[in-house]
Amino acid sequence: MNIGFKNVQPRKLGDQVIQQLQEKISLGELKPGDKIPTETELMSMLGVGRSTIREAVRVLVKAGLLEVRQGDGTYVLDRTNSLEPLDYRLRRAAILEVYEVRRILELEIAKLAAKRRTEDDLVRMRESLDKRREAKRRDDNRAFVESDLNFHLAVAAASKNSVLTDLFLSFSNALGDALEKLVSDRNLFKNQISIHEQVLDAIERKDEQAAEQWTAENLDRTMKDLEELLR
């Protein structure tokens, strides 16, 4: 079976193995009913130890994506039968994939927020940006990420669409830990204070086009920064 796995890097071996297996399943390279490579084969393909492979398989079995058949091997299950919560799935996804989907959501959220926002929504957004600015001044990465996500959650709430808000909440939960680690690089998000102000200004003016434009600018810059950091 020639599946084309990549040799993983030393950092977070288990997460990388899970991510690669998940990706092969999601993209259809490993289909329902397929038998995945043996532990020994995966160890060779991925360059990791047996315990790492077993832990990755255990996680995907729990997620309802794989089934271990004693004495036979491990098989891919039909993904329509998976009951894994969305936020669990997002935590196992590549951060750039999560950002691509987040971008799609946030562009629509920004337009709806500009159309439907209230004064209370604007107060929440301003408070979050004030805390974000203060956290940046103190070099408090955890507070910076928390206030950044709170700003975007306030924008989502201003859309007055509860489904979009719940979806974004799931994304923010998945992104929080990863962003806190990445934001420690001082170059990451260096120009985004002003961009967030522009997003807020557009929403305050109820300018849907400008809100979408500045949101796209914000996320595109973030994705570019992330791509450079993750090379």
User: How far apart are the C-alpha atoms of 29 and 206, rounded to whole Å?
Assistant: 45
Please calculate the CA angle 167-226-203 and round it to the nearest 5 degrees: 50
* DSSP code string of 160-217: T-HHHHHHHHHHHHHHHHHHHHHTTSTTTTTTHHHHHHHHHHHHHTT-HHHHHHHHHH
Q: How far apart are CA 19 and CA 143, in angstroms?
A: 28
Residue 107 exposure: Cα atoms within 13 Å on the Cβ side: 11
**For residue 70, is it left (φ>0), alpha (ψ between -120 and 50) or beta?**
beta
Predicted pLDDT of residue 51 = 92
pTM above 0.75, yes or no: no
Amino acid at 5: F
d(CA 128, CA 126) in angstroms, rounded, equals 5
CATH of range 86-229; options 1.10.150.120, 1.20.120.530, 3.10.580.10, 3.40.50.620: 1.20.120.530
Per-residue pLDDT, 1: 58
Per-residue pLDDT tens listing for the chain (231 residues): 566 665 555 457 888 888 889 888 876 788 889 999 999 999 999 999 999 999 999 988 888 889 999 989 999 988 655 556 676 677 667 778 888 888 999 999 999 999 999 999 999 999 999 999 998 888 888 888 899 989 999 999 999 998 888 888 888 877 776 676 666 655 555 556 689 999 999 999 999 999 999 999 988 988 887 777 666
Q: Which CATH class is domain 13-81?
A: mainly alpha
Predicted local confidence at residue 168, as pLDDT: 87
Shortest CA distance to 16 belongs to which of 51, 49, 41, 46?
A: 46
Task: State the virtual CA torsion across 150, 156, 158, 162 in degrees, nearest 10.
Answer: -120
CA pair distance 64, 42, nearest whole angstrom: 20
Which residues contact residue 44 at a Cβ distance below 8 angstroms, ignoring those fewer than 6 apart? none
Q: Give the C-alpha separation, 8 to 17, whole Å.
A: 7
Would you say the C-alpha torsion 190, 132, 142, 219 has a positive or negative sign? negative
* Domain ranges within the chain, ordered by starting residue: 13-81, 86-229
Could you tell me which residues are beta bridge partners of residue 74? 68
Beta-carbon count within 10 A of 213 CB:
16
